[in-house]
A and B are shown apart, each in its own frame.
Chain A
């Protein structure tokens, strides 16, 4: 009796197996876009902005009935994975989305410490990845499948140095930065190099550092004030900006304080208050006084989620629109994921003069966009006002 049962089971298995070959390719082709974002961990606000932008994008695509490739419309899904703001989780999330969810393209991770290792995974599996916010050159270097949506620090540093020189005519600058965090440190170095090129060695009269999570900057700031620097450059994140600017004012700093794109969060002004009014920083886009598609995006986002989108949301939006453009230009989808991914990657590399809400983009060989930076002035009402646009030559 048992033998018969075994035989029947075996036969059934064989039949199932044979029929499976005919069936398993019959699954519907769905365009899946992966989002690798820090939903929990140190910077959940960044993850939230990415998620909201992605949901808005998905709503748009669904309204249009999917993405049209080669004359056929395909349904679209987004896969959002939490990377916990950790390097190993970002790697896991990317591996999962590529090997399990069969995503066509990945948007994210946002910070460099996750984007660098995750980019390695994407490149190994030959899946295109666009990091909207990562500024570390290593993210895209020697990785044909990895792109980014923002300008790099080697561009931003000189932009700020030249802007300060041109705008105020200063010759002596001070820098205060976090030595333990990769982004501020890199940018501080690029700024220093550019400034000293303009004004000669020693023109950065104070180059002070602190460590992540420090809250008292009085000793560094006292040094800076004594050094008779005319301007203070501090490429820090919003929570530290508030502390630094307020403490500097309290200690009697009179000159302007200039920041970088990390100031761009809506929280900066909220935490910093009036101390920050009138200061300048460089960023990807300016929310106040925006026009056209940018304004439309800001209005929709504000209406839906109740606050002005910061640069991460805008950059994620652009990255997703870029991904969409690449998918549309990829010719046709074969349903064979490896081939489609390669086609999407090639289409992405060829995208020219993409009209994004954070500026127009064309990718270089390395996968970095040539893009303009915006100088923003914090107005007397605490709004980020467009001041000037500076484009790469």
Chain B
């Protein structure tokens, strides 16, 4: 134990920049040498998702996969992170002098570069990353309602469906020749440029749809919202199933391929940033006050009704955007997708990650998505393991893994050498 602690203490001086440099080198290593190394280790191909799938499918290859992970990821990241700590701390200090937004953008750009390289090795990774980021948007937006607002809403798949169908029908109508809506109305070259507007339209439709839930249910508190919102989800699903012009139960397919990795990444970051600003604004504080004690908040001049409605519509908006992205990643939507199974998935991500925390939501979304993907070879047992993990989390951390913590961008990026006696390392 002591040894591990000592070992880990070695790395407390590495700032975020250092980890980014390390990961960048690791990814470059994989990009150029991955194939050769995997060949020498008798692996059939570069393992995706760090070899989790290969390990579960062929236990004989476990040593090879572990060796591969060590050579490609663990050793370079740790070694470079530690060796370059002095240098990266200097860079971090330099970043500290820059305006916060600029430093953040540079960090994010670097992170995206690494992600792009890593995912670019295999299209399966691209797909997993894309769907994971869509899951992040969904989880963070549901956290506004179920976490910050303290309600229990079940209508997220419904909002997602509204967004997905609204944006899909727009793109199909405007930029694609298809059987459902006929020839394209606008030149398809415009499509990718107008795609953001289409997503916003999808979000707006979802936000307006959310009023159907919000207006009747926010007169009361408690279980009513859960019931009404669950009903809303089923209403949306059945309504779309019965709308022949939207494809009915057969769904809509062949949306243009606009949801590329950078687009989704930008939207995810925008979502996190805007929601972070929202919850740290006056409105967000008011929202927390309403959650803790509505009567007290009301007496402190908080307009509770307006606060709740705004937050609910805001969450629904982002669910709609996520739905639009989802539809354009899969390039197919059918109403059956937006049912109780989807709801269970999103709720699991929110409660696993942690209430009242964007950070937690990201952790929840990423871990449930990646876990779901990595354990796929176990087939039925996967559905025993994931719920078990959830139960354990609920027992030991009832509010989720990381709850009630906010992202501290500045703290995340700061140089790590100063806390110890002020000097350089």
Give the distance in Å from the alpha carbon of A307 to the alpha carbon of B249 in the complex: 32
Whether a CB of chain A sits under 8 angstroms from the CB of B32 is: yes
Question: Which residues from chain A contact B335 at a C-beta distance below 8 Å?
Answer: 180
- The size class of the interface chain A forms with chain B is 35 or more
Q: In angstroms, how far is the closest chain A Cβ from the Cβ of B52?
A: 12
- The size class of the interface chain B forms with chain A is 35 or more
Whether a CB of chain A sits under 8 angstroms from the CB of B373 is: yes
Within 8 A of A (CB), among B316-345: 326, 330-332, 334-337, 341
Contact, CB under 8 Å: B383 / A40: yes
Which residue of chain A lies nearest to B237 when distances are taken between CB atoms in the complex? A180
Which residue of chain A lies nearest to B377 when distances are taken between CB atoms in the complex? A82
Known: A92-B128, A92-B131. Is A116-B39 also a contact (CB below 8 A)? Answer: no
Please tell me which one of the listed residues A88, A99, A116, A186 contacts residue B124 in the complex, with CB atoms under 8 A apart: A99
Contact, CB under 8 Å: B39 / A27: yes
Within 8 A of A (CB), among B17-41: 32-33, 35-37, 39-40
Contact, CB under 8 Å: A86 / B337: yes
Please tell me which one of the listed residues A23, A44, A82, A88 contacts residue B337 in the complex, with CB atoms under 8 A apart: A88
Whether a CB of chain A sits under 8 angstroms from the CB of B200 is: no
Q: In angstroms, how far is the closest chain A Cβ from the Cβ of B141?
A: 18
Give the distance in Å from the alpha carbon of A81 to the alpha carbon of B326 in the complex: 22
Within 8 A of B (CB), among A86-116: 86-88, 91-93, 95-96, 98-102, 112-113, 116
Q: Choose the segment among A11-19, A195-203, A338-346, A349-357 that binds chain B (4+ C-beta atoms closer than 8 Å).
A: A11-19
Please tell me which one of the listed residues A40, A102, A113, A179 contacts residue B45 in the complex, with CB atoms under 8 A apart: A102
Contact, CB under 8 Å: A120 / B122: no
Known: A20-B35, A138-B253. Is A88-B242 also a contact (CB below 8 A)? Answer: no
Give the distance in Å from the alpha carbon of A102 to the alpha carbon of B44 in the complex: 10
Contact, CB under 8 Å: B330 / A87: yes
Which residue of chain B lies nearest to A112 when distances are taken between CB atoms in the complex? B250
Give the distance in Å from the alpha carbon of A40 to the alpha carbon of B33 in the complex: 37
Contact, CB under 8 Å: A185 / B122: no
Contact, CB under 8 Å: A24 / B35: yes
Which residue of chain A lies nearest to B47 when distances are taken between CB atoms in the complex? A100
Contact, CB under 8 Å: A92 / B238: no
Give the distance in Å from the alpha carbon of A86 to the alpha carbon of B242 in the complex: 21
Give the distance in Å from the alpha carbon of A123 to the alpha carbon of B246 in the complex: 24
Contact, CB under 8 Å: A19 / B36: yes
Contact, CB under 8 Å: B379 / A40: yes
Question: Which residues from chain A contact B251 at a C-beta distance below 8 Å?
Answer: 113, 116, 182
Which residue of chain A lies nearest to B334 when distances are taken between CB atoms in the complex? A113
Which residue of chain A lies nearest to B337 when distances are taken between CB atoms in the complex? A87
Give the distance in Å from the alpha carbon of A20 to the alpha carbon of B248 in the complex: 52
Please tell me which one of the listed residues A88, A99, A186 contacts residue B123 in the complex, with CB atoms under 8 A apart: A99
Give the distance in Å from the alpha carbon of A92 to the alpha carbon of B369 in the complex: 12
Q: In angstroms, how far is the closest chain A Cβ from the Cβ of B270?
A: 23
Contact, CB under 8 Å: A87 / B334: yes
Known: A116-B251, A186-B250. Is A86-B331 also a contact (CB below 8 A)? Answer: no
Give the distance in Å from the alpha carbon of A112 to the alpha carbon of B250 in the complex: 8
Question: Which residues from chain B contact A39 at a C-beta distance below 8 Å?
Answer: 379-380
Within 8 A of B (CB), among A169-195: 179-182, 185-186
Whether a CB of chain B sits under 8 angstroms from the CB of A211 is: yes
Give the distance in Å from the alpha carbon of A363 to the alpha carbon of B415 in the complex: 65
Contact, CB under 8 Å: A92 / B124: yes
Question: Which residues from chain B contact A154 at a C-beta distance below 8 Å?
Answer: none
Question: Which residues from chain A contact B337 at a C-beta distance below 8 Å?
Answer: 86-88
With most chain A CB atoms within 10 A of its CB, the pick from B33, B128, B330 is B330
Q: In angstroms, how far is the closest chain A Cβ from the Cβ of B149?
A: 28
Whether a CB of chain A sits under 8 angstroms from the CB of B90 is: no
Contact, CB under 8 Å: A20 / B36: yes
Contact, CB under 8 Å: A120 / B45: no
Known: A19-B36, A92-B131. Is A185-B249 also a contact (CB below 8 A)? Answer: yes
Whether a CB of chain A sits under 8 angstroms from the CB of B283 is: no
Please tell me which one of the listed residues B39, B331, B334 contacts residue A23 in the complex, with CB atoms under 8 A apart: B39
Give the distance in Å from the alpha carbon of A185 to the alpha carbon of B40 in the complex: 54
Question: Which residues from chain A contact B35 at a C-beta distance below 8 Å?
Answer: 20, 24
Q: In angstroms, how far is the closest chain A Cβ from the Cβ of B403?
A: 28
Within 8 A of A (CB), among B108-165: 122-124, 127-128, 131
Chain A facing B: main interface SS: helix
Give the distance in Å from the alpha carbon of A189 to the alpha carbon of B238 in the complex: 19
Contact, CB under 8 Å: A23 / B122: no
Give the distance in Å from the alpha carbon of A86 to the alpha carbon of B251 in the complex: 13
Question: Which residues from chain B contact A138 at a C-beta distance below 8 Å?
Answer: 250, 253
Give the distance in Å from the alpha carbon of A200 to the alpha carbon of B79 in the complex: 80
Give the distance in Å from the alpha carbon of A96 to the alpha carbon of B32 in the complex: 21
Contact, CB under 8 Å: A100 / B253: no
Please tell me which one of the listed residues B131, B241, B248, B249 contacts residue A88 in the complex, with CB atoms under 8 A apart: B131
Q: In angstroms, how far is the closest chain A Cβ from the Cβ of B54?
A: 9
Whether a CB of chain A sits under 8 angstroms from the CB of B254 is: yes
Please tell me which one of the listed residues B33, B237, B248, B332 contacts residue A182 in the complex, with CB atoms under 8 A apart: B248
Please tell me which one of the listed residues A17, A81, A99, A112 contacts residue B376 in the complex, with CB atoms under 8 A apart: A81
Which residue of chain A lies nearest to B249 when distances are taken between CB atoms in the complex? A182
Whether a CB of chain B sits under 8 angstroms from the CB of A316 is: no
Known: A24-B39, A40-B382. Is A179-B241 also a contact (CB below 8 A)? Answer: yes
Q: In angstroms, how far is the closest chain A Cβ from the Cβ of B365?
A: 14
Q: When each residue 222-265 of chain B gets 1 if its CB lies under 8 Å from chain A and 0 otherwise, what string results?
A: 00000000000000011001100000111101100000000000
Whether a CB of chain B sits under 8 angstroms from the CB of A136 is: yes
Whether a CB of chain A sits under 8 angstroms from the CB of B48 is: yes
Please tell me which one of the listed residues A82, A88, A92 contacts residue B379 in the complex, with CB atoms under 8 A apart: A82
Contact, CB under 8 Å: A180 / B249: yes
Q: In angstroms, how far is the closest chain B Cβ from the Cβ of A297?
A: 25
Question: Which residues from chain B contact A185 at a C-beta distance below 8 Å?
Answer: 248-250
Known: A138-B253, A185-B249. Is A91-B33 also a contact (CB below 8 A)? Answer: no
Which residue of chain B lies nearest to A87 when distances are taken between CB atoms in the complex? B337
Contact, CB under 8 Å: A120 / B32: no
Please tell me which one of the listed residues B39, B127, B241 contacts residue A95 in the complex, with CB atoms under 8 A apart: B127
Question: Which residues from chain B contact A91 at a C-beta distance below 8 Å?
Answer: 127, 330, 332
Contact, CB under 8 Å: B36 / A16: yes
Question: Which residues from chain B contact A96 at a C-beta distance below 8 Å?
Answer: 48, 53, 124
Question: Which residues from chain A contact B373 at a C-beta distance below 8 Å?
Answer: 92
Whether a CB of chain B sits under 8 angstroms from the CB of A144 is: no
Which residue of chain B lies nearest to A23 when distances are taken between CB atoms in the complex? B39
Give the distance in Å from the alpha carbon of A138 to the alpha carbon of B254 in the complex: 10
Known: A82-B379, A92-B124, A179-B241. Is A100-B36 also a contact (CB below 8 A)? Answer: no
Whether a CB of chain B sits under 8 angstroms from the CB of A117 is: yes
Give the distance in Å from the alpha carbon of A309 to the alpha carbon of B144 in the complex: 50
Q: When each residue 74-91 of chain A gets 1 if its CB lies under 8 Å from chain B and 0 otherwise, what string results?
A: 000000011000111001
Question: Which residues from chain B contact A102 at a C-beta distance below 8 Å?
Answer: 45
> Can you sample 24 A-B contacts with CB below 8 Å?
A16-B36, A17-B32, A17-B33, A20-B35, A24-B36, A24-B39, A27-B39, A40-B383, A82-B379, A87-B334, A88-B326, A92-B124, A95-B127, A96-B124, A102-B45, A113-B336, A138-B250, A138-B253, A179-B249, A180-B241, A182-B249, A182-B334, A185-B248, A185-B250
Q: Knowing that A87-B337, A185-B249 are A-B contacts, what are 17 other residue pairs whose CB atoms are under 8 Å apart, sorted by A's residue number?
A: A17-B36, A20-B33, A23-B39, A24-B39, A27-B44, A40-B382, A40-B383, A96-B124, A102-B45, A113-B334, A116-B332, A117-B253, A117-B332, A179-B242, A180-B249, A185-B250, A211-B238
Seen from chain B, the residues whose Cβ lies within 8 Å of a Cβ on chain A are 32-33, 35-37, 39-40, 44-45, 48, 53, 122-124, 127-128, 131, 237-238, 241-242, 248-251, 253-254, 326, 330-332, 334-337, 341, 373, 376, 379-380, 382-383
